[in-house]
Structure 1
Amino acid sequence: MRNSDHLERLRQKYTRHKKARGERVAPGEFLESYVSYMYESLLSAQAGAVSVRRNARVTDNIGATYQIDVLFEFNVGNLIHRVVVECKDTARKTERDEAIAFEGKLRHMSNTVGVFISVSGFQPSALQYLDQHGIEHLDGASLPTFGEVVAARIRPLILPSENAMGQPFWALMHVSDGRPDGSWYRVPDELIHRGKETAGDGWTFVLFDAHRHAVMFQETLSQHGLEWVVRGIEQPMLRLLTRLATDSDMRFGLAETLALEGRICLEFTQVLTAAELAGAYLVPRYAPE
């Protein structure tokens, strides 16, 4: 299914839900609602309490006040961080003047990430301006990968710490320049499903249900000069991973380590879809709605 088809399917589902409740869908409401849901899921994984507001009025550092389509605020390291999202759900492409206006809102806001979403896309001059000013932009086709794009921008703020406990899983995260970089250990589907047709994006996310198995495999990788660290997957992060994986159809492999002919190898006890993993292992507080 194309990403644009996926977005339209979500729009239709949202509209049916509203009509069933006797409510009207206001212009731009679906897009803002979708963005709010995805961002809140992402940020709540590690940032703790997240404030989510739509059609918010925000005052910047020099006293100017702006209307913001979707605003997220969260506290990390005793600093308030913001994600400001501009949503355009119109039939025409976003123009350069609109990009300039959005950048003007962000110019004097501290600790703020800006994201411009335009379902119908952008004119080339608008894209150029957003790129020049470091503002993320997504169109309707790329919107379903929204969570992954945003994760890359705020990943340094929400990576699980070395003190995170497995609830109930452990996983390996890649180390770059001496620090975890947010890339999780995955294996090609073909290593698990030899001779069988596979679904998804071609990769399976590796989860260990025992800390010692994760450590054994990490030590094996280290012996080959590969830098990875063990991190606990707490329930908020597990919810985030399952939600992000839903858009790509990535699977999750529950693994153990075995000593085979003098080598440490992975043995997969189960391979689950994101929905199956969430249904079986998320506690009610974090289970899908």
Structure 2
Amino acid sequence: MSNGKELEEYVRNTYQFLLNMKDEGLNVEKDKKLVGKSGAVHQIDVYYEFVFGNRIHHVAIECKDYSSAVDKGRVQEFALKLQDIGNISGEMVSANGYQSGAKKIAEHYDINLKTINDLPTMPHLLGMRLSSVALPDESYKAEPFWTIMELRNDKVTGSYFGHTQDGRKFIPLFFSKYHALMYFQESNLDTKSWGIRGLPRHALRAFILMLDLLKRQSVEPMIMFRPPGDTSNSGFAGFVTDRKLLAKEYYCGEVPEPVTDSV
């Protein structure tokens, strides 16, 4: 970093990325002005707020792009600023670490100290984004689909279960987790190799975008349906769909069209 403003922008962009892994819409601001209890106006290098447990939480980040380690005086100044503002958490990011006295002051005032090396790099951020958005875990609820995904060491790999019918390949989608489980059991799938996962809105969007690649492999999505309470051996009814209908009728939002080569 060549100056403090570049460090502030770097920190802001990193936190903006981290806090919006699932398109939460959180805004991370730079050079925020907050009025303290004393009436003084305090400048905050990077600021964001979020809602958790029905409360709004405020976070201020101080950026120090010094050629040497940050001393305790700088941390004390930040601590006093936070105390005057009130109801706010503090973090500090330093380009060249902290002196031992600074660390003691930070611990006393519950200020989280970080260095540039503590912030994830862009390749790491992109990997986290992929894992967060495209690869649903067991806690995800369907909006509205459930599907079956490949597992490795109890984590999804990004590959979807598919079946072949009349020479065509399909990825089954279910409105009910119960029906997904029925299909899972009827297909005699190994629980160590496959798992049922819900597709929340952001994961459904990633799935729709992935269909552009799968189309080249002649793979299509199929919505599986079974009447409520059906215990017969008639199996599931399957309805083939496509990315446009999924986006329009189930995602109910804009999904970028695939890029095609111009003729």
Using the size of structure 1 for normalisation, the TM-score is: 0.45
Which one has the largest radius of gyration? Answer: 2
Using the size of structure 2 for normalisation, the TM-score is: 0.48
Greater share of helix: 1
